[in-house]
């Protein structure tokens, strides 16, 4: 049997993945899609709730967070100010009334930038939170195999990681509130919820065939 035939014959066996492996793949795929087009909803899933943030700020004095209304208002003003400034420039009157397309695209990009900033901070916080959780659990596990590196050293290291996670929680939560304000302003001004840009991947049969042929030829 040729190498190609062997490879084809082995493919069905390679597809027999465990449920855990399939779940990991789907989670990774979801993360990639989210990073390509993050939303406020996805961001909120990663950041602390308002009540959690209050508890974190109380327990960790070094955490810096702004007032909710001030942060939310900053997001509102960011979009509203751009609307008022750019509307006379980016809109024009046509046969069917005022054309807002260019202005909408501008506001879309502004909100997209704010959302991406908040989502990036949320991802960073989640990574630090999980690392702190693992370190804390590892230190408290009396039956772990690795060396403790001293009781005080291990405890201090875990405590430092918890502090870092708490500080990153403040960053992520604050930026998420600003993003929420920006989305609220966008909805008020545009009359619809902001949606991330999605590339149009729909292609005709002939386009897909041409792409597959090109791939087979290596270009």
Is residue 190 one of the residues assigned to a domain?
A: yes
Q: Tell me which residues of the chain have a pLDDT lower than 70.
A: 1-17, 21-35, 139-155, 199-209, 211-212, 218-219
Distance CA 91, CA 199 (A): 24
pLDDT for 140 equals 60
Q: Which residue has the tokens 């327990």?
A: 59
- 5 found inside a domain: no
> Domain for residue 88, yes or no?
yes
> Does 89 fall in a domain?
yes
Q: pLDDT value at position 95? A: 85
Q: What is the pLDDT of residues 37-81, one digit of tens each?
A: 899 999 999 999 999 999 999 999 999 999 999 999 999 999 999
Question: Are the beta carbons of 198 and 144 closer than 8 angstroms?
Answer: no
Q: Number of structural domains, the chain? A: 1
Hunting for tokens 């943030």 — which residue is that?
A: 53
Q: What is the pLDDT of residue 167?
A: 97
Q: Within a domain: residue 82? A: yes
Confidence at residue 152, expressed as pLDDT on a 0 to 100 scale: 52
Per-residue tokens: 27: 């989670």
Q: Confirm whether 125 is domain-assigned.
A: yes
What are phi and psi for residue 93, nearest 5 degrees?
A: -90, 125
| Structural domain includes residue 116 | yes
Domain range enclosing 70: 34-141+150-196
pLDDT of residue 130: 95
Q: Name the DSSP class of 97.
A: E
- Which is it for the CA torsion 166, 172, 175, 181, positive or negative? negative
């Amino acid at each position: 049997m040729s190498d190609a035939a062997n490879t084809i014959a082995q493919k069905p066996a390679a597809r027999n993945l465990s449920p855990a492996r399939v779940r990991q793949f789907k989670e990774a795929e979801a993360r990639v899609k989210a990073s390509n087009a993050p939303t406020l909803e996805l961001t909120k899933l990663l950041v602390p709730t308002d009540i959690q943030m209050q508890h974190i700020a109380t327990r960790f004095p070094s955490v810096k967070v702004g007032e909710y209304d001030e942060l939310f208002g900053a997001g509102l003003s960011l979009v509203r100010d751009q609307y008022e400034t750019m509307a006379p420039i980016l809109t024009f009157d046509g046969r069917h009334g005022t054309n807002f397309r260019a202005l909408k695209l501008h506001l879309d990009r502004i909100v997209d930038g704010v959302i991406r900033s908040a989502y990036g901070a949320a991802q960073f916080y989640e990574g630090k939170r999980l690392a702190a959780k693992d370190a804390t659990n590892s230190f408290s596990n009396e039956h772990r195999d690795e060396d403790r590196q001293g009781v005080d050293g291990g405890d201090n290291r875990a405590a430092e990681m918890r502090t870092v996670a708490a500080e990153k929680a403040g960053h992520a939560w604050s930026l998420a509130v600003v993003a929420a304000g920006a989305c609220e302003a966008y909805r008020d001004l545009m009359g619809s919820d902001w949606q991330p840009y999605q590339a149009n991947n729909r292609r005709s049969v002939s386009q897909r065939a041409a792409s597959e042929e090109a791939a087979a030829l290596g270009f």
